[in-house]
Amino acid sequence: MSEGALVTEANRVELTRASSTLDEPKGGHGRGRKWRGLLWALPALVLLCLFVYWPLLLNFRYSVEQSNIFTGEQTFVGADNYVKMAGDPIFWRALGNNVLYSVVSVAFQVFGALILAAIIEGLRRERLRSWLRAIYFVPSAMSLTVTGLLFAFIYQPKGGLLNGLLESLGLGGLAQAWLGNPDTAMGAIIAMSQWQGFGYSTLLFAVAIQRIPSELYEAAAIDGIGPIRRVFSITIPLVREMTTLMIIVTLSGAFQVFNEVMVTTSGGPDNSTQVLGTWLYRSGFVKNDFGYAAAIAVVMFVITLTLAIVQVTIANRKRL
């Protein structure tokens, strides 16, 4: 090791020792700071327990009861609601729709958005990059109600934008009632959701890519590495944490989807677009079977929690 390197290493060691000495708590002062920190965090913890964990525990309790919201009667039924769920074909159809929704959402709103963000950030003109970010983000700024009404017009069997476009291209034989056909209704809703959420994911990935040091791309270009390989060798590995976060958020949102279906089809036609959220709503507030609705909510919670734990565990192993 050269003399300059030895001096630099020695300075680094001294700075590390000094910082550790400054950060070391001194007796009661360290404990006092810790208790003051807990005191400041206490209100948030109380609100979290009151509005998140306590309702969660109550929902577990309601899932083993037969509840009537109008009379207030509650009868313990044990696992009857879960047995009923296992034999409910509409529940399994709703779960399948959520799984399909999650697979498509991860493909488009995570990996597709990552590729698009890499392409946008690879452009040389800053003004063009800014315009593209704004254009892709506009759909995400629209409310779900407005989006649902917009796509209800687009999917209209007569006079709708989609069927009109197909007819103008000579593909009129493909025109149909997209939201009225059980074979196409769920796909139409998923397409609407991807259109709205795609830009938001792209913007988050663009922010993550901007934090990557430009020297890495410059060094790769000097070494003759092409743009596609730079994406897979530099961009994707260095935005791994954002990718993990987006997968967790996207999967959780896919299994909690509700508004997109209610605004467009309300679960029809023939329950072909039911998802867990809409079937929970219909079971509780339409059929007055709140015990069964609470059991569906428990299943939704277990699925989303399991997916989050698995994803975080895999990400931590890759980091190590």
65-123, pLDDT tens digit by residue? 988 777 778 889 989 999 999 999 999 999 999 999 999 999 999 999 999 999 998 88
Tell which residue, 15, 11, 5, 239, has the closest CA to residue 116.
239
319 — pLDDT class (breaks 50, 70, 90)? low
Does the pLDDT at position 232 exceed 60? yes
Residue 29's pLDDT is what?
60
- Residue with the larger pLDDT of the pair 31 and 263: 263
Angular region, 267: left φ>0, alpha ψ -120 to 50, beta rest: left
Q: Which helix (H) or strand (E) is 49 found in, with range?
A: none
Residue 299's pLDDT is what?
95
Residue 28's pLDDT is what?
53
Mean pLDDT of the chain: 86
| Per-residue CA distances from 262 to 177, 180, 185, 317 (Å) | 18, 14, 13, 39
Residue 277's pLDDT is what?
94
pTM > 0.95: yes or no: no
What is the tens place of the pLDDT at every residue in 286-315?
Answer: 988 999 999 999 999 999 999 888 888 887
Residue 68's pLDDT is what?
77
Residue 145's pLDDT is what?
84
What is the tens place of the pLDDT at every residue in 4-42?
Answer: 443 344 445 444 554 444 444 555 566 667 788 788 888
Could you say which architecture CATH assigns to the domain 82-319? Orthogonal Bundle (1.10)
Residue 154's pLDDT is what?
93
Does the pLDDT at position 1 exceed 80? no
Residue 32's pLDDT is what?
67
Query: Do 75 and 66 meet the contact criterion of CB atoms below 8 Å apart?
Result: yes
Percent of the chain with pLDDT over 90: 48
Rounded to whole angstroms, the maximal C-alpha distance in the chain is 85
What is the tens place of the pLDDT at every residue in 137-182?
Answer: 999 988 888 898 899 889 998 888 999 999 999 888 889 999 999 9
Residue 54's pLDDT is what?
94
Written as six digits, the tokens of 80 are 């009857």
Q: For the chain, what percentages of helix, strand and coil (3-state, to nearest 5) are there?
A: 75, 0, 20
Judged by DSSP in three states, 263 sits in helix
Q: Region 184-201: what's the mean pLDDT?
A: 93
Percent of the chain with pLDDT over 70: 89
Judged by DSSP in three states, 65 sits in strand
Written as six digits, the tokens of 319 are 């980091």
